[in-house]
Amino acid sequence: MGISGVGKTALINRLVTGNFSTTSPTVAIDVRICEIPAKGKGEPTILTFHDTAGQERFRSISKPYFRGADVVLVVVSSRGIQKDLVDCLKWLNEIESEAQEAKFILVRTQIDLVKNRHSGRKRVEEDDELFPVFGKEENLGETFFDVSSMEGWGIEELKNYISEVL
């Protein structure tokens, strides 16, 4: 979940296919499935992604898709417009009641557009941009992921983490 234009569709496409493509904004919901091979002899993990439209007018029809979710990716852009972060937090607060059992994972996309930013798992409290907005959100935990869907940076680490928390 996230507001319009933060790269949710590009992120899901990279997670599912391993490729980057530019797309038009999602209208309503798009469903994508990804299989993560098991480590050792276990069963593979099947991930179903519901790519929800970020425009405010689609939020009411998106909410039911969060019911029963195991994981919710909370996606924000590295372009760091404070208003966008606050809007995303409001949207997050609206869906928390729909996804009460879900693990929420904060993902900051488009890090290829920012100098001196590296991909991977990081601590929210150590980030000057995210901590003021998301630092008190208990559902998000203490870590987040910086990724680039375009370059593929941080994608495998995020995918492995999703598999671990399921």
**Per-residue pLDDT at 80:** 67
Residue 110's Cα: distance from chain center in Å? 12
Residue 71 lies in a domain: yes
pLDDT tens string 28-86: 677 888 888 877 778 888 888 888 775 555 556 667 777 888 888 888 888 766 777 78
**d(Cα 58, Cα 81) in Å, to the nearest integer?**
22
Query: Is 3 domain-assigned?
Result: no
Res 24: pLDDT: 65
Per-residue pLDDT, averaged over 91-105, amounts to 83
Tell me if 69 is assigned to some domain. Answer: yes
2 inside domain: no
How many C-beta neighbours within 10 Å does residue 100 have? 11
Whether residue 1 is contained in a domain is answered as no
Give the global pTM.
0.84
Mean pLDDT for the stretch of residues 10-29: 81
Place of tokens 């869906």: 95
**What are the start-end ranges of the H helices in 25-120?**
59-62, 82-95
In the prediction, which pLDDT does 61 show? 60
Q: Is residue 102's pLDDT more than 90? A: no
For position 74, which CATH number holds? 3.40.50.300
Separation CA 95–CA 100 (nearest Å): 9
> How many domains are there within the chain?
1
Q: Per residue in 135-151, pLDDT tens?
A: 777 777 778 899 999 99
d(CA 166, CA 103): 9
The confidence score (pLDDT) of residue 145 equals: 92
pLDDT of residue 147: 94
Range of the domain at 27: 8-165
Q: What is the mean pLDDT of residues 16-33?
A: 78
Q: Are 47 and 34 in contact (CB under 8 A)?
A: yes
Closest CA to 65 of 57, 53, 78: 53
Which pLDDT score, from 0 to 100, does residue 56 have? 59
Structure tokens at 70: 């195991």
90: in domain = yes
77 in any annotated domain: yes
Residue 126 placed within a domain: yes
